Structure 1
Amino acid sequence: MTLTDRQIRILRVSREWVAEHGEAEAPSMRELAQAAGLASPSTVSYQLRRMREQGVAVETRGRPSGRCPHCGR
């Protein structure tokens, strides 16, 4: 699995967001775009789709990651 710099930034921002706000308050696409310094939520959506294809799930508000909420798998 090879992530681009942009995808790594989205993943890092998402993890930092959850660490700060708690797992119950995942970021929205708009919040992820703003925090990662990206132009629009559609850019985040595209990158998240590509990441899911590689098996990397990033949880956003309104879209479950598919991971177990207890163990993270």
Structure 2
Amino acid sequence: MNRRPEHLTQREEEILRCIRQWIEDKGEGPSMRQLAHAVGMRSTASAAYHLANLERSGALIRDGRGWNTCRLGH
């Protein structure tokens, strides 16, 4: 079972659930645009902000440059 830091926002938890489901369904993480659309954001900049926070907290780890190479941390 993955443990998440207690300080994640509700939106960040929603993003992690979306990423987890996307990886299970498609074998890789969503692009930033796909993620923003999936969680109802109009701006990819908002998605980038939340993804950077998740990466800093260790809840998300990027294996490459793009977010579709991410994996869940902890």
For these two proteins, the number of residue pairs brought into alignment is 67
Secondary structure (helix, strand or coil) at the match of 1:16 reads helix
Unaligned 5+ runs, structure 2: none
Q: Alpha carbon RMSD of aligned pairs, Å?
A: 2.7
Contact 1:27 1:61 in 2 (8 A): no
Secondary structure (helix, strand or coil) at the match of 1:39 reads coil
User: Which runs of at least 4 in structure 1 moved beyond 2 Å after TM superposition?
Assistant: 58-67
**Cα distance, 1:18–1:3 mapped onto 2, change above 3 Å:** same
Q: Does 1:19 align with 2:24?
A: yes
Bigger strand share: 2
Alignment TM-score, normalising by the size of structure 2: 0.72
Q: Find the counterpart in structure 1 of residue 31 from structure 2.
A: 28
Identity over aligned pairs, percent: 37
Unaligned 5+ runs, structure 1: none
Q: Does 1:47 align with 2:50?
A: yes
Greater RCO between the two (CA within 8 Å, min separation 6)?
Answer: 2
What is the identity, as a one-letter code, of the residue corresponding to 1:3? L
Cα distance in 2, alignment partners of residues 31 and 14 from structure 1? 10
Secondary structure (helix, strand or coil) at the match of 1:12 reads helix
